[in-house]
Amino acid sequence: MAIGVVSTAAYALLLVLLRSPLGVQAANGSALAITAVANTQANRRLTFGIQGRPSLVRHHVMAFVVFLLTLAITTESLVLLHALDHSPTRLLETAVLVVASAAATVTRFVGLKSWVFARGRRVPANAEPAGASSGACADPVTP
């Protein structure tokens, strides 16, 4: 959770710093991209305990797919805001994007945990299917 909080705070700071020179959409994409790379690497090492080069490129390529989803969340939040208010204040834009970024951070973590860094669960060939037990009938009505 600490990585998510730090990522969201860093995103907000970068968004504020980049907004004037780049515009709000480009600042959003840039801030999100920078924090996504750092977030992925921090989660890879600190949360999931993966170190070294094995699978590094694969992890970051898969995380890029998750990044695209999070970019869509923040971009569409901004589009929706502008549809509701044609000239929102910078403070309102920033607030909407920070809330969307927090949601994107949760989405990113779920994507990283369930897909990017998921460890394959292998069932031994001689294992019984879930719910089955030796000598017991699965259906109490059928003998």
Measure CA 119 to chain center. Answer: 17
Per-residue confidence band for 108, with pLDDT thresholds at 50, 70 and 90? confident
Per-residue confidence band for 119, with pLDDT thresholds at 50, 70 and 90? low
Average pLDDT over residues 88-103: 89
Measure CA 139 to chain center. Answer: 42
pLDDT at 36: 86
Q: Is 103 exposed, middle or buried (0-12, 13-18, 19+ CB in 10 A)?
A: middle
Average pLDDT, the chain: 79
What confidence tens digit (pLDDT) does each residue in 3-56 have? 888 988 998 899 999 999 999 999 999 999 999 888 888 888 887 787 777 778
pLDDT at 19: 93
Per-residue confidence band for 97, with pLDDT thresholds at 50, 70 and 90? confident
Decide: helix, strand or coil at residue 137.
coil
Report the distance separating Cα 117 and Cα 54, nearest Å.
Answer: 12
pLDDT at 109 over 80: no
pLDDT at 132 over 50: no
pLDDT at 131: 47
Contact 74, 97 (CB under 8 A): yes
Q: For residue 72, which of 114, 116, 103 has the smallest C-alpha distance?
A: 103
- Each domain of the chain, given as residue ranges in start order, spans 2-116
Share of the chain above pLDDT 90, in %: 31
pLDDT at 125: 45
Measure CA 115 to chain center. Answer: 10
